[in-house]
Chain A
Amino acid sequence: MAEVKGELQTQEFELNMGPQHPSTHGVYRARLTLDGEKVVKVENIIGYLHRGIEKLAEDRTYTQFIPYTDRLDYLSGMLNNLGYVQTVEKALGIEVPERAEYLRVIMAELSRMASHMVAIASFVLDVSGWTAWFPPFRERERILDLFEMTCGSRMTVSYMRIGGVAADIPPEFLPALKSLLDDLPQFIEQMHALISGNEIFIGRCKGVGKLDIETALAYGVTGPNLRASGLPFDLRKAQPYGCYDRFEFDIPVLTNGDSYDRYLIRLLEIEQSARIIRQAMESLPDGEIMAKVPRVIKLPPGDYYHQIEASKGILGFYLVSDGGTKPYRLHIHSPSFVNLGAIPKLTEGSLIQDFVVTFASIDIVLGDVDR
C-alpha cells in the first residue's frame, strides 16, 4: 500500500443550487463552493423573477398600481397593499374612515398570519417534516377563504384602495373569522406536538445559522428575523401607523437568533396577530369604508416615504411625484431582499443541510426580492 504523507488533499467544487431546486423557494439561485458537505462560500444570485414592477409603476396611475403590489410578496398581499396606499394617503393627507382602518388592520394581520404559516410550513418541509407541512396550510386555507369572500381573490387581493378599502365584509365573515381564531391554539398545539419538540428537528435547527443583533443590524435585517435575535423592534409599536396604537399586543422576542428561534417566533407572532384581530373585531365601528377621494389622484410634487411592518420585515415605499397622475419614480424597500443579504454570512462554514435550513428560516419570497 502506498503511504500517504501529510494530510489527504480535498478539492473544493462549485454547486449550483437553483433556480430549479426543491428548497430554494422559487427561483433563487445560490452558487455554493463546497468542500465535501461543507459550504465554503455562498453567492446569492437573484433576478430570475424580475418583472420590473418599479418601472411599471411609472406607467400606471396611483390607483392602477395597487394590483401590482399584491405581486411583490405574494404571500402577504394585504400588507403590501396597506404599505402602498398608506404612502399615497400620507402624501395626499387623506383621513381614512374608522371602519376602513379597522378592516385594514384585520386584513393585514390575517395576511401576516397566512404569511407566517407558509414560512413555518416551508421551513418544516425543508427539514423534511412532510406531515408538519399540512397543519399550517390547512389553517392558511381558511384565511384565504376569508379573503376570497371579502375581496374575491385569495392571494392577489387588491383589497385596499387609496382612502379606504374596496369592499365591506360580508355577514358570514365575522363568524368564520371567530371560529378560525378559536381553532388557532389547537393548531399551535399541534405544531408543537408534531415538530417543535421533536429531537431531530431541534438538532437540525438549534444553533444553526446564528444571527446576532450587531450582524443583523449591519445587514439591515428586520422583522421576525431581527426579533428572533433579541431586538424588540416592531414598527407597529415603534412608529404606529393606521390605528395600531389602539390595540394591545406584545412584541415576541427570542434571544438565540438561530433557525429554531426564527421558526418559533413566527408561531408566537401568529398568536399576537390573533390577539390584535380579536380586539379589532370586538370594536369594529360602523360607517363608511371609503373616504372622499378625488377621482383623478395627483400627488403634489415631491418625494414621500412610508414604511410598515410587513410579515417579513420593514416594507417601505418611496414615491417621487412630479405632480402628474403617475408616479415619477417608485422605489420599494422590500424586506426579503434585505434579509437575503445576510444569507452568505450566516451559512458560510456550515453544512449543506444547514444552508437549506438557514435559508428557509430567513423566509424570503422571490417576488419580493426581485420585484
Chain B
Amino acid sequence: MAIEGIFTAIIEFCQGLLAGTPSWLQTLGLGVLYLVGVLAFVFLNVLYLIYLERKLSAYVQERIGPNRFGPHGLLQSIADAVKILGKEDITPRGADKWVYIIAPIVIFIPATMLYAVIPFGKDLIAADLNIGVFYFLAVASTTTIAILMGGWSSNNKYSLLGAMRAVAQIISYEIPLAFSIVGVVMLAGSLQTSQIVAAQEGTWNIVLQPLAFIIFFIAANAEINRGPFDLVEGEQEIVAGPYVDYTAMRFGMFYLSEYANLLSMSALAVTLFLGGWHGPWLPSWLWFFIKLYIMIYIFMWVRWTFPRIRIDHLMGFNWKVLLPLSLANILVTGVGIKIYQLITIGRW
C-alpha cells in the first residue's frame, strides 16, 4: 500500500541523497532525520494534547472549551505558546540560579529521548535497541531528578514539598510499573520493543495480561503525575508544586514535558499491551496513532473524573496492593507460559 510506506519512503529517499557520502555522514544524517521526525511528532502532538485536554475537560464539565482562536479554537495552543514565550522570565532572588535554569532543560531531554524506542509503525523506529523497554524505564525515571532540581532550587516551601512528593511517588510507582511490564517481556521473550510488537500479531497482550495492563495504567498515571495521582502539582494544597516559581518558557518546558510524558507513556502502553501498530486494513502508523489517542483519552477521562488521592493512601496502595499484585501476575504468567509449553510442545 502506498500510504503504508510513506514514512519509510521518506527515510529511503534521504538515504538515497546521502548515498555517495562517507558512512559517518550517512549515520549522522539519518540520526538528524530521526531527531527532527521525533521532535516534530512530539511538539505537534503535545500542542494538540493540551487543546484536547481542554476540550475534553470542557465537554465533561458541560462547557465548550477553547473556541475563540481558529475554527473551534484549534489554534488556541499556538496562541498560548506564543504568549508564554513572551512572558517575563523571573528567577526568584533566593533561587539556586544554575540548577533553577537547568531544571526545565533537564526535564525535557528524557521526555524526547523516550521516543527513540517506540515503534510508530512497521519498520518505523528510530533506534531498535535490544533493551528497548529497559531503556525506556531507565530514561523515564530521570524525570524525577529534574523535578527535584526545580523544586529544590526554587527555594520555595511549596515547591520543596512538591519535589519531595515527586521523588517519593515516582520512585515507588516505578517498581510496579516495571513489574507489570515483566509479564509482557516474558511472553515476548525479548526486551526489544519491535519484538514485543511482533509477538502480539495474533492476540494483544491486553487479553493475555489484563491485570498487568491495569497495574501498568495505574502506575503510569502516577509516574507521569496525572489524574488522581497529581500530588506533585497538587494545586489545592501546594499550589503548583515544583513549578510554582517558574515563569515564561521555563514553565512552558515543564508543561510541555508533562504532556510529552503522557504521550510517551501512552505510546508505551500501546506498544506493550495494545498490539502496537498491528491492525487490519489501515496503514500501520495510523493504527498506532488511533490506539495512542484512545489510550490518551482514557488517561484524560480518568483525570477529569477522579479526585486526588492522599499521600499516605498513595504509598499504601503502591506497596500493599500494586506491588503484590504485580508480583503475583509475574508468577501466574510464568506458570501459564510453562503450562502452555507443556500442552503445545509436550515437555517442560
Contacts and interface: CB of A to CB of B under 8 A. Distances in A.
A and B touch in the complex (CB under 8 A): yes
Interface stretch (B15-23, B304-312, B322-330): B304-312
Interface in B289-320: 304-313
A1 interface: no
Contact of A131 (B61, B165, B237, B311): B61
Contact of B237 (A124, A138, A194, A356): A356
Interface string A1-18: 000000000000101000
Contacts of A309: none
A356 to B, nearest CB: 5
Contacts of A351: 310-312
B306 A198 contact: yes
Which of A13, A127, A132, A200 gathers the greatest number of chain B CB atoms within 10 Å?
A200
Contacts of A13: 157
Given A200-B228, A204-B310, A354-B310, A22 B61 contact: no
Nearest to B309: A200
Given A127-B307, A127-B308, A129-B306, A203 B313 contact: yes
Contacts of B60: 131
Interface in A195-253: 195, 198, 200-201, 203-204
Nearest to A128: B308
Given A13-B157, A127-B236, A356-B237, A203 B309 contact: yes
A125 interface: yes
Contacts of A356: 236-237
B17 to A, nearest CB: 50
Contacts of B63: 134
A130 interface: yes
Which of A127, A128, A131, A194 gathers the greatest number of chain B CB atoms within 10 Å?
A128
A126 interface: yes
A114 B130 CA distance: 61
A133 B304 CA distance: 11
A366 B80 CA distance: 34
Contacts of A22: 235-236, 239
B239 A204 contact: no
A198 B307 contact: yes
Contacts of B61: 130-131, 133-134
A23 interface: yes
A130 B304 contact: yes
Interface string A343-371: 00000000111111000000000000000
B125 interface: no
B164 interface: yes
B311 A353 contact: yes
B238 interface: yes
Given A138-B62, A200-B228, A204-B307, A128 B235 contact: yes
B236 A126 contact: yes
A200 B306 contact: yes
Contacts of A36: 164
Contacts of B158: 15
A183 interface: no
Nearest to A203: B313
B230 interface: yes
B155 interface: no
Interface of B: 57, 60-63, 157-158, 161, 164-165, 228, 230, 234-239, 304-313
9 contacts: A22-B236, A125-B236, A130-B57, A131-B61, A200-B307, A204-B307, A204-B309, A204-B310, A354-B310
Interface of A: 13, 15, 21-23, 34, 36-37, 124-134, 138, 194-195, 198, 200-201, 203-204, 351-356
Top-10 shortest CB links A-B: A128-B308, A129-B307, A127-B307, A23-B236, A134-B61, A126-B236, A128-B307, A201-B307, A15-B157, A353-B310
